[in-house]
Structure 1
Amino acid sequence: MVTKVEEAQLNQLENQVDNGGGGAWEYLCLVRKLRVRRSEKVLKHGLSILNDHKKRSSLGPDEWTLYEQVAIAAIDCNSVDVAKDCVKVLQKKFPESKRVGKLEAMLLEGKGAWEEAEKAYTSLLEESPLDQVIHKRRVAMAKAQGNISGAIEWLNKYLEIFMADHDAWRELAELYVSLQMYKQAAFCYEELILSQPTVPLYHLAYADVLYTLGGLENLQTAKKYYASTIDLTGGKNTRALFGVCLCTSAIAQLTKGKSKEEKEGSQVQSLEAKALEKDYKQRAPDKLPQITIALKSLTLSP
């Protein structure tokens, strides 16, 4: 994950290069280091170096790294001819390279030659079954074709091998949600919370899924995770505050007549309603009347 300091550094360097201040190679190196995708900029500034013989020669062995970086950016930008030229140069220099083989498969994928790309990826995986990039390319290819079920299948296979990949678990959860497979999504968020318990985003997403599933037990658990999101964000997550209110109201409807639950629910309702109204008053006062009406509809207004 890119930090704010790193992002600021990248943006500053990008602005410098864009305005003719130099530092194109340093910018491209930083993009690689941070593993971010700035394909249009990489294509533009990478080609400016590759097309200048003197600059290209001064890179030494890094010349081939730049060809690879520009090839990937060109595929992203649908500049097929540029990608082809870069891949040809690399094929000539490294005729037996599996790394270049991945670029060839990506080029096929970029051209929409799905069957050929699939065969190429399958062949590469037979030789390198633990290659994370190839596994992820198969997921991306399925998504590009609108085959969400296929993407889920590939992601599950990937996670059988690379269980510690948090981004993959999150992507799988989001794919399940898109298909309204909420129980499966909940399992993914449970894995994420177990491995990264201090990330409020996972608590919030898990609570949302449980609230959507409904039922007393799910609502009670959702309320706890909305509350933990509030705690982890120092009380600044509006969505979590509203989530607690919604859960409390729904639980009250399901436990009518049980005085203890009603009393506890009323206390929580009052606290969260006040926090919500205070938050809207500070950040969006024009919307305060709307939120007040919404809270009253849930019998949450203090």
Structure 2
Amino acid sequence: MTESNSGTLYVVATPIGNLDDFAPRAQRTLAKVALIAAEDTRHTARLLNHLGLERPMMSLHEHNEAQRVEQLVARLESGDDVALVSDAGTPLIADPGFVLVRALRERGHRVVPVPGPCALIAALSAAGLPTDRFLFAGFLPAKGGARRARIGELAERAETWLFYESPHRIHATLADLQALLGERRIVIARELTKTFETYLQGSAATLLERLASDSNQARGEFVVMVAGAPPADTEGGWVEGATLLRALLAEGVGVKQAAAVAAELLGGRKKAWYARAMSLQADG
């Protein structure tokens, strides 16, 4: 069947909290498709009920996405249009859908975005951090060692970087950011577009104090945004330091000890050199 005769997959963004943010085009799309592939059909059923719609649904999440591809290809080749939605926001952005969209693109099927809410863009637009360049890191690793190594890799990035975090890990993540980034400016956004939407800013230590003083601030889903690394000349000469750190690490010197040597010889904060050494070690 040619592409012109097959159905279309619509990648539909849904509200991240406030249902008034649901675009009219997105609503019309869900109303007309033959099938909705939803991350959680129960969650999407509540959205459809709010819109007064009834549509057939199929679950598509991280555990079954690969198995759903052939089923959805068959529906499209029969001429059916299908909508892909996640629980909130834009599908594929730290949500399922990549495996399906890649497979459909490789087979020549039509994939159409229906844009709308996205938590990372919403958070960044109101954070007061530079937005001319930014890096989205998805979710950081859940285990402490891997998470600290990832932060070490990101610490030297010049652009703003951001990631999603859950309420049960936000304290541990902020503690890691405090240890590795010191006074670097951080903004956290929670409960975006909802009644208790909140932005907090300051160093990681300041944010930890705020969360400790008000347990409500640790509830909800978070977007954590981190200012980019300061210019090289304020951190002791990154280029020269990288050469030194690589040499020390190659000789078997530990990361902490290598960072201390770099700080002693080149100046700058030990924590900054530690983050740099962690990144170099991770890169091999």
TM-score normalized by the length of structure 1: 0.25
TM-score normalized by the length of structure 2: 0.27
Identify, as 1 or 2, the structure richer in strand.
2
